[in-house]
Amino acid sequence: MTDVPLHPPVEPYATHRIPVGDGHVLHVEEVGRPDGVPLVFLHGGPGGGLVPAARRFFDPGRFRAVLFDQRGAGRSTPFGEVRANTTGHLVADLETIRRRLGVESWLVFGGSWGVTLGLAYAQAHPDRVTGLVLRGVLLLRRAERDWFYQGGLRHLQPEEWDRFVAPIPPAERDDVLAAYHRRLHGPDDDEARACARAWGRWEAVNSSLRPDPETLDHFTDDGRALPIARILSHYAVHGGFLTEGQLLDGVDRIRHLPAVIVNGRYDLCCPPASAYDLARRWPEAELRIVPDAGHSATEPGIARELLRAVDRVADRIG
């Protein structure tokens, strides 16, 4: 992390446990200054949870940043729970958090799955959003899911693709995603855990331009791999609980909001075609393609663009 130009490490000035119904309780933290520019951070995954570095994308002297673990993720409970866990539930959770903390409206900062959720939330509640910073655009269209889970990416990662599909019998590899979903949510715990480790490795090795050992450990750790993989597969197999093209079709509801879209040129999880498609539907948004970066927010080029973007959007909203 020494070559990543983030703000210094910072601890939350407040933490909360917020019940949102259906047995789910969310871990929520506030960072920066209570009278600062309100901002909400949406982590990736889904199911990925917060990491301490997430707090470092915002100037603590300027922002009141709200960060939280989404349903089933991180320190929210119950960990790994997929019941009552859909995009609609997460959008409603954002409103619950906003009202609980007394925030009138806020800047939305999301990466990867956080882009999906951020767009869904902003389109549902445009009057509660002041602007958006979006990194690694994921719209969860069929082509994106096929690229990552059904073999498109094997042309760039052939040896890792073979590792990924190894737990799936050849007869079921016409739909790798569905086959994984059955096993991750099936009755055989040993099989589910083995599949979760293979799934986690595939996610991790594609999450940055150069594979990061810490990310690999995070996604394949025995205590985290299965809960994370279950939530990821739950959302992926259901297309994010969105209709095909829904987030592009809803852009007109938010075109008036200031926005910056950041994507790595060599992002294997979220190739820049989706960022480009979003920018074409949203010409008022600023598109920044980082030429020497992959997917991770902590790659130096991505981090620099995000730090600049969040300040530029805050400048525009006053």
Q: Active-site residues: which are they?
A: 112, 267, 295
Token reading at 235: 């959302």
What are the Cα distances from residue 85, in Å, to 51, 70, 150, 170, 185? Answer: 21, 9, 24, 31, 14
Cα–Cα distance, 49 to 42 (Å, whole number): 9
Cα–Cα distance, 227 to 23 (Å, whole number): 17
Cα–Cα distance, 27 to 71 (Å, whole number): 9
Q: Confirm if 227 and 174 have CB atoms less than 8 A apart.
A: no
